[in-house]
Amino acid sequence: MHNPIRGPSRLRVGCFASGMTLLELVVGVALLVVGIGGLLMGMPSLLFQVDYFSHAQAALNAAQGQLDQLSATPLDTLWTGPAYAGARGNGQSAPLTGLPAGAQGVLTIQIKSGDLHNPGNPSLLDLHVAACWRERGRQIGGDRNCNGQFDVGEQVDADGWLQSPVMVSTRMGRRDS
């Protein structure tokens, strides 16, 4: 094309324009800054969750081990033995092992009759193990003072079981020999 005032046109307008405008560059950098800032702000929360889940896994392993020990004990020993008198009442404590250094906790063992027809001499027991621990100044679990026993104001459900994010339960029946 020839422009009589300026001479031949050397600029082609249309599909061959390349490069980024200043506005596109500013928007792109702003999105990048917001994204990286969001990741950095979320890191402490993620690190906290990693610690919580590692402690919860250690507590779950300890609670399952304690429940396995209880399941290996004869039903009559659990129901009438003096070693489990606390577990039949307000709960009985057991050590919570496997927590990392700096965290401390306890397992609460509860044993109740699962036999509705003969609760005094049951052929079925409900076994429940709940974990409670302290980490970074926070109390995890329904046992407020982490002593393994029920006290006034602690979190129990309608059936009287201690509430905790880590709890395992089973039923144990009388074995016929």
Residue pLDDT, tens place only, 91-117: 888 888 888 777 788 888 888 888 788
pLDDT at 40: 94
pLDDT at 105: 86
As given in the structure block, the two tokens for residue 158 are 């309608």
Q: Angle at CA 66, nearest 5°, toward 62 and 67? A: 115
pLDDT at 26 over 90: yes
Of the candidates 63, 73, 47, which has an alpha carbon nearest to the alpha carbon of residue 175? 73
Tell me whether residue 60 is in a domain: yes
Tell me whether residue 16 is in a domain: no
Dihedral sign of CA atoms 148, 152, 156, 160 in order: positive
Q: Angle at CA 49, nearest 5°, toward 92 and 106? A: 10
| Entry pTM | 0.72
Collapsing DSSP states into helix, strand and coil, what is residue 130?
strand
In one-letter notation, the amino acid at residue 47 is L
Tell me whether residue 10 is in a domain: no
Tell me whether residue 78 is in a domain: yes
Tell me whether residue 142 is in a domain: yes
Number of domains composing the chain = 1
Tell me whether residue 56 is in a domain: yes
Assess contact for 163 and 169: CB atoms under 8 A.
Answer: no
Q: How many helices (H) and strands (E) in the chain? A: 3, 7
Which residues are CB-contacts of 160 (< 8 A; sequence separation ≥ 6)? 110, 112
Range of the domain at 143: 31-173
In one-letter notation, the amino acid at residue 113 is S
Residue pLDDT, tens place only, 45-67: 898 888 889 889 999 999 999 99
Tell me whether residue 75 is in a domain: yes
Residue pLDDT, tens place only, 111-149: 888 878 877 888 888 899 988 888 877 888 877 777 777
pLDDT at 88: 82
Residue pLDDT, tens place only, 66-96: 999 998 988 888 888 888 888 887 788 888 8
Separation between Cα atoms, residue 94 and residue 4, nearest integer Å: 99
Mean pLDDT value across residues 3-25? 68
Tell me whether residue 42 is in a domain: yes
pLDDT at 27 over 80: yes
